[in-house]
Structure 1
């Protein structure tokens, strides 16, 4: 049997709601595989029917169909989600701080979890050896591996594509993924109790959206290089925010700033699902980290190179325990931050959240599917947006969907 037969996947793919997380392929590897489709996103291809259990897992967990609700913490913010503590900090080890995309907080937490025996390994993303602008799965077991593969990877990734096989093991793993990946993992845990035993630590980050491979190729060409000649490519890190850096087979090297790589290229290639995302801040992770940008004279984030600083939001008891353990071991240092300060550090995230209702309203008017978004404060966030801003986004999304159908 060929083609899509799962009703969940059919709806998700037809509505461009797939985030490419790979969960469906992970729970049904004999029936679904992940493939790259133009302009460079990861999407499932179904070759055989799913059994009832697999269909239930996909319907329950797919972040294109349903997004895990917030809750369970003593505090909750309409933009920044549930929280136990809001902090700024950085990795104490200068090498870890330098190698990460902001202050190295996630890397420091992972290294501490490994070296203290909290976990046996880490599941995260690393550059593809064949196509350095693209991603592959990485199971890291040492400090050196975590540092080697630190840094943001602004390209399609499917970190849950081997989840079924992973759940057969009794190893304990720290998982790092996009907010939608952690949402899928949280929801899978509701139908598969092995998830929380296998992945006792689930970390995420604030996500600006997933760009296509074409966006990365444009960066390489803007550097004066060719994508098929690369032997290495780094999107960020090795400084804060760090430069995009490339090297070719014949030894040519080039770099451009984060402001240019993201602002001029990658941000224009973000997939549709990300434009209506109600939880790009890792609201169901144990800990979510982000860039704790300093504002410029006009109150906007400044991307000048400086010592890295991470925004750290602990959301669960497990996250609190990991933070306390890492701080006690001298792996990470931090200080409290007023939650309203995040508004100045991450204004683009707040803007997207307050426009989710306007954008999804356009979808509903045209019969275009949207994911379930219960208990994510989208209505409360929408009430903070100006009517003119909502109208512009409603009409812009309406126009986009109509044009796409032509």
Structure 2
């Protein structure tokens, strides 16, 4: 646990504080990253290695095995699952208010409607600062309004977890989070049976990686709203026409409201990994293997040409599958059957970076004698190293980590230009390698086709 914190691998989930509240606190550091802090006079430190998702011996495989009995298929990159769908809600207004197809919110609404849950643990804007986020318990479908749309921001569930652990109320809750958060919640449940009994459903959303608060400031600053001025941000606004990936950001201050289409902002390429927590580069769970169901964007030309958005869905339990298919039969949603190849097609870059890229980063850290979180050997054995892309992955990792301190300096100077000037040489070098690899791949494919 000392290494997790001192080496910058804390993901800010809050499990340590929920598990040992007298020993740890969660803070946002100067870089905008949420991290655990050991309280100076802490004495009663419990078995943190069992609840920390970064170092726990219980890998995603441990929790995914529970779905085997209800599964209809298995892929090593996905785990046990029932079905893959693309889909969206049929209510036009609801769909437009959502990040993609609106199915995540619809599923929670159905859980409320059927009386299956007393609340949903979800992320919404913080009342204290709308440019930040926090977990809260939605007690009805009406409470879900502020939770819609993506929120590219680290969020701790420690306060909610502590509340549930202390409460004597009989609860039946759904937890919604990115894959590492769902894993964290399940690890906490393994150590606290009363907590596990209250979390009836786990719902995940696809995550390329988390972002520090600096990403939010970076986006707004490009729209001429500086970090001290920023009040709130909307990460997903849809406008008529065009591709679903060409959505807009909207930043608000007391004096101004600014909107900009994402492809008209600089360095929005998710592969660059700007403002990424270090732990994300050692996470290999692309498909939310510990969750009952996972939702994301169907980034495929087959669906993305519709600006209103379409979900990619992977179900793991019979109950989750039945709720969604029932809604389809009732005309509330549209579902289209897909298969594993569709998951790989829409998440190809994520798989490559998380799997073969993980090998590259692990080898580099071992060579340099650097500490990194222990990785499950069974899972690591599934991945293959691509030596031709080693430097490509390592460049990404360095850009990601350097971006934190460089942006902090830009804020101190009140000069965004400092960020561009300082990081541009690295980014330019990275893109030259990226284009070079892409061209080589295209030539290879052409040669194979000629021989066929």
Mapping of residues 24-63 of structure 1, within 5 Å: 24-47=16-39, 48-49=41-42, 51=44, 55-56=46-47, 58-63=48-53
4+ residue segments displaced more than 6 Å = 398-402
Q: CA deviation at 1:210?
A: 1.2
Q: Structure 1: any 5+ residue segments left out of the alignment? A: 1-7
Who is 1:373 aligned against?
Answer: 375
Q: 2:257 aligned with 1:253, yes or no? A: yes
1:262–1:228 CA distance, 2 compared to 1 (3 A): same
**In 1, Cα distance between the equivalents of 2:266 and 2:136?**
24
Mapping of residues 224-243 of structure 1, within 5 Å: 224-238=224-238, 240-241=244-245, 242-243=247-248
Mapping of residues 121-200 of structure 1, within 5 Å: 121-167=119-165, 168=167, 169-200=169-200
Mapping of residues 6-405 of structure 1, within 5 Å: 8=1, 10-47=2-39, 48-49=41-42, 51=44, 55-56=46-47, 58-66=48-56, 67-69=59-61, 70-71=64-65, 72-73=67-68, 74=71, 75-167=73-165, 168=167, 169-238=169-238, 240-241=244-245, 242-250=247-255, 252-260=256-264, 263-264=267-268, 267-295=273-301, 306-324=307-325, 326-327=327-328, 330-352=331-353, 353-374=355-376, 377-382=379-384, 385-390=385-390, 392-393=392-393
What secondary structure sits across from 1:341 in the alignment? helix
**In 2, Cα distance between the equivalents of 1:212 and 1:261?**
18
1:305–1:93 CA distance, 2 compared to 1 (3 A): closer
User: What is the CA RMSD across the aligned residues, in angstroms?
Assistant: 2.9
**In 1, Cα distance between the equivalents of 2:374 and 2:82?**
26
Moved more, 358-367 or 371-380: 371-380
> Is the CA contact (8 Å cut-off) linking 2:212 and 2:275 kept in structure 1?
yes
> Is the CA contact (8 Å cut-off) linking 1:131 and 1:230 kept in structure 2?
no
**In 1, Cα distance between the equivalents of 2:397 and 2:262?**
27
1:357–1:260 CA distance, 2 compared to 1 (3 A): farther
Q: TM-score, normalised by structure 1?
A: 0.85
> Is the CA contact (8 Å cut-off) linking 1:83 and 1:316 kept in structure 2?
yes
> Is the CA contact (8 Å cut-off) linking 1:236 and 1:258 kept in structure 2?
no
Q: CA deviation at 1:186?
A: 1.6
Between structures 1 and 2, the one with greater helix share: 2
Q: CA deviation at 1:355?
A: 1.6
Q: CA deviation at 1:25?
A: 1.2
Q: CA deviation at 1:77?
A: 2.3
> Is the CA contact (8 Å cut-off) linking 2:99 and 2:236 kept in structure 1?
yes
**In 2, Cα distance between the equivalents of 1:290 and 1:13?**
30
1:89–1:400 CA distance, 2 compared to 1 (3 A): closer
**In 2, Cα distance between the equivalents of 1:314 and 1:229?**
42
1:292–1:395 CA distance, 2 compared to 1 (3 A): closer
1:254–1:319 CA distance, 2 compared to 1 (3 A): same
What secondary structure sits across from 1:196 in the alignment? helix
How many pairs were matched up? 384
Q: CA deviation at 1:319?
A: 3.1
What secondary structure sits across from 1:355 in the alignment? helix
**In 2, Cα distance between the equivalents of 1:150 and 1:61?**
29
> Is the CA contact (8 Å cut-off) linking 2:55 and 2:373 kept in structure 1?
yes
1:105–1:286 CA distance, 2 compared to 1 (3 A): same
Moved more, 368-377 or 89-98: 368-377
**In 2, Cα distance between the equivalents of 1:99 and 1:399?**
33
Moved more, 172-181 or 228-237: 228-237
